[in-house]
Structure formats: C-alpha cells, structure tokens
Structure 1
C-alpha cells in the first residue's frame, strides 16, 4: 500500500496513547500479582519500575527504527534488511506471533467469563458471538480499531479505576515490610515475569505508518507506558496490602476477587460489572493483534485481509472446541510469554542495531 493511500486511514498522534494502553493492559491485570509473587515475594513491586523503564527504551528504539526507514513498518524493514526470502519468512513468523497473542487474550477472557459468570455454559456460543464482533471491527479498518481502543480505555477509566479506591480502610501497609529481603536476581526474575503484561507494545511496529506525523506521537507513546506502569504498580501495592502473601497464593484472579468482596447499594456483584466493562477493552486489544496479523499477511503473503481474518478466526474456533485442558492453555500462554520476551528484548534491539549501522554506512 502506498503512503498516499495509507494517509487516508491514518489516526491522530494522541490516539497512540489509547492504542498502546489497550494493547498493554489486558486480562493479565486481573491476576498478574500471583506471577509477581513467585520470585520476589512482596518485594516484587520493585520490579515493575524496572520493566517500565525497559519498555520506555523499547518504544524509543521502535520510533528510531521506523523513522530511520522512511516511516515504514516492520514488514518492509525485514525485507529491506534480510532480503526477500528471509524477510518474508520473518514476516510470516510475526503474523503467527500476533495471531497467537490475540488468541491467548481471547481464550483467557473466555476462561474468566466461564469461571465467574457461566460455569456450566459451553464456550462455543459466546466464542462465535465475539468472533463475529471481532470480524466486524477488524474489517472496518485501522481507524475503527483506534476508535474501539479509545472507547474501551475510556470505559475502563470511568468504571474500573474508581474501584481501586474502594476498600482502602482494609489495607495493611505492614504487609510490604521488610522492604528488602530478596536478591537482585530474584527482583530481575520478577521483572521478567512482568514483561507478559506489556506484550502488545510491539504492534507499534506495524501501525506506525498509520499515525499522522508519527514524530509527534512519541510523547503520547511514552506517556502511555508511564501511565500503564503506574497503574500496574498501584494495583500491585493495593493487592499486597489487602492480602497476606499466603492468601494471595491461594486466590484465583486476585483483582476480581478483591472487587467481589466489595458491596455497593446498587451493585451486589461488582465483579460482573468489571468483567462486562472490560469486554470493550479486551475486544479492542484482540482486534489490534488480529489487524497486525492480517496486515502482515497482506504484505508478505499477498493474502487479502478479509480472507486472512476469516482463516485466523476459524482457527480460533477450532482450537477452542478441541482444546479444553487448562494445562495445555497454560503451556500456550507460557510459550507466548517466552516468544514475546525474545521479540521485545532481542529482535527489536537487533533491528535497532542494524538501523544504526545502515545509517552510519550511508553517512560515510
């Protein structure tokens, strides 16, 4: 697609804040605390700023990579740096990566619905309804996805954020002490487990050309990373002060469980409200991942986006019907976490180094 035609679908720079937020805050916000505790106990909150700072560096690298290559995306950069065949192979792998990430989010959200709302209900009917909704959003183009990200984030701001302020009288600050009883290695391992929550930030490599004046959007991208890091840190601290470490290890979906214990005059089951409101933002995150996969399939595999979208959603349905073991779903989630870790901390820096060498070579 030529740059002139891309400009018709470009979005305002400030929307990058909502696009990144929607991709970084997913279902993991409901249970990331359990993974954090495994390595560093209640000192794990110190790991979140470490991960957040590294994400700022990754965002800076992405902007340097794309801007130095004429405001293009990762699919064209791969073919430019690695040649036609290796570049296409890398692009095909990236297509699978984004599609796989979208599926993991899709399946984990279905698990929450089944656990809290409809324990006896088959997943197939609601999966089909969500798949139809996803097809409608993604087929509408990138501007539609940016719009749903905006409204999804806005709804979570209005309906979910205030819930963190409820129950402050039940917090115990002494749970956070002693402040330093774990090693630096344990804190780094905890920071590594936190990377899973930020996966989705790499979609910026795909939709970068769809941003009007991308250079102006960089401040919004860093603002989003800072806000998300602060949100994760506050949520983790509140959870740590609400539960003892022993209690937290036994609780399923700690954020929802804490909300479920709260009672309001008009809402006796607040977790139902949270799950329902999060649907908009979760759908936005999945749609963004699907669009990135379909965009890559169009550029590298010469496959029309509606066709690739239907194929991916069909695979979603097949896997959901035939794969129901929680252990296998956990295995897929762990694999996605490992792939995402190397994508962010190995592949992106590699592109950055190649970009700097290429730029130095041209200048000399």
Structure 2
C-alpha cells in the first residue's frame, strides 16, 4: 500500500475509535436529567447573576426572559454592569420598569483588579450582592442568553434530588442553543458544539467519576454552598475559559456536575460574518492549549489527520487509481459525516452540510493558529476593549 493509503487507514482507525470509544460524544441525547418536584413553599431561593459589558444590543431580547421566569420559589436578578460604555445598566433598569417580574438589582464594581478577568470580576461582585438574600443556588448566565419562562424551574428541579434519590447535583449546566441563521453561522456554529463535545464528552462529564469536567458558561446553576467550598470565583479568577475551570473547581471539592444540551435556552448574539466567528474562536483557542507550542502543533496535525486526510485520500484514489487510499478515505469521511448528523439535526440544519465538516475543521485549525499568533504578538485574549495577554491557567494544570 502507498503512504497515503496507510495514513488514510490511520485516519479511519481514529474515526472508528471516536465513534465507539469517545463517550458517544456525537449523540445529542444528554438533556436535563429526571427532575424533582418540591412541594409548594419548598423551592429554594435563587439569585440570577448576569455579568454584562456593553450588552445594550442584546439585552432587550434576553433580560426580559429572566425577569419573566415562572419560578415557584423566591428569586431575584442581579445584573453586573462591567464598565459598559453603551448604557447597559440604564437600559437594564428601564427594561425592568417596563416588563416587571422578578426584582432586578444593577451593580457596577468598576475595573477588575490585577489577575482577574472581567467576567469573573463581575461574577464575584454579583455573588457578593446576592449574599444579602442567602440564596441556596446561583444561576450564572450570560447577558446574551434568553430563557423560556420555565427555564429556572426546570434547572432547579434537575439539581434537586428526587424521591428516588436521583439528582442532587451541585452544578447543572446547559449549553445554550447558539444562533444559526447566516451561511457562516450554519457552517461553523454546529461544529463548534460538536468539537466541544468531542473534547469534553458529555457522558464522561456526567458519570460522576473520572477526570473529565466541563460546563457551558452561558447557563450554570451552582449550589451556593458548593461555590463557597470551591472558593469560586477567587480560585479561577484569571481563567479565560472560565466555564471549564469552574467545573474543575467544583469537581475538585467533591461536587457533582452535569452538562447537557439546552432545549429552551438560546443565545441571541449574532455572528453574521466569518470575522465575527473567527474572533469568537480565536479569543480563547490558544488558552485551551495552555499556550503550549507543542500542543498547538499536535492539535494542528491531529486535525489534519482526522478531518483533512479523508477527503485528500479519496481524491488521491480517484485521480491516481490508488484503490486502498480511496476506500479508506471514503470510509473515514463517511464515519465523520455520520457522527455530525445528530448535531445538525439538533440545530435543525440541512443534513447536506455534514460532508463539509473538513472545510469547517480547516477553518478551526487556522483560527487556532491565529489565536497563538495573537498571543505571541501581545494581544492575547481580546474581548470588548480588554486584552489578557497571558490568561491564568493554574486551575487547569
């Protein structure tokens, strides 16, 4: 067999391993676990903490959904205006006055101290403001996340133990359904969640044992007692990938975590062009690799072997008559596309996009390389006027 054929066989072997041995990451059936139904008057008090920096564009679509939560227990919303210049805090108060619902408090903590990322600095002050109400749970949700009216009720019910003793989670996190409307969003967004699940298989996160820990930062219900025990957010104050760091901190202190796909929690933030999506991925991709050039090289080579070799081998087989390369490439590409179909169904997208996954993977490889270049040029993780040249990664080591 030719060298190309052997490499294609290697790619096919990797795909068969991913299909069967990587926690069935490609399945999309990890939804909220069985829920408890407390009696009236026994629902715990919840404080919803919303860090917001220059979010006036999306706030009218997200904040009213939090204020309108149909929750049987006590709850409040604390929006932390993180140095906004677009009137985010003023708009939040106006929306609360117009829509009513849960009580809203707006706090402005000022610029973060050295060593803190802006979001975690805002979360810290939101949690501090919530202490006055002694909430049993904290819902940490981003300013671009819209919740259906029963979202909070279902999250709390999933976290509480039911009559059979199931549940009892210290942290329940849902990956919000991201917006998918433009051609670039259709090409890149479902793959973003697919790659995340491949890196952190939800089943492995949810099995209660093992080292895999992850969360989706847009929607995290956290037991207050566990947050104190894990010393968050102080223990992860410099983390750019704060959701994964949070999950690891909770697991390290013995907390039970659960992660799944959302059905009634959606992101309203638009990413209309390739540049918008590129910046979103490149902002933290190199931090995920702990700023390690060796890991960067391994990641790029791994993406090439897994995603780019199959179509290349198939083309080689068709053009040169290398039958072994062609069949191995076709097999690997077929398994790849098949594992992507459930995510496309979840996002209600055309299944014909599945064979284009190598194109998307190539874009992600380029975004990751660009993330490393930005870091070495001193721009690091840039977000809304702030740059974190060397994000703290100690919690992830």
Instruction: Pick 1 or 2: higher relative contact order, CA cutoff 8 A, min separation 6.
Output: 1
- Normalising by the residue count of structure 1, what TM-score does the alignment of the two structures yield? 0.23
Normalised by the length of structure 2, the TM-score is 0.21
Structure with max Cα Rg: 2
The structure with more helix, counted as a fraction of residues: 1
- In terms of fraction of residues, the more strand-rich structure is 2
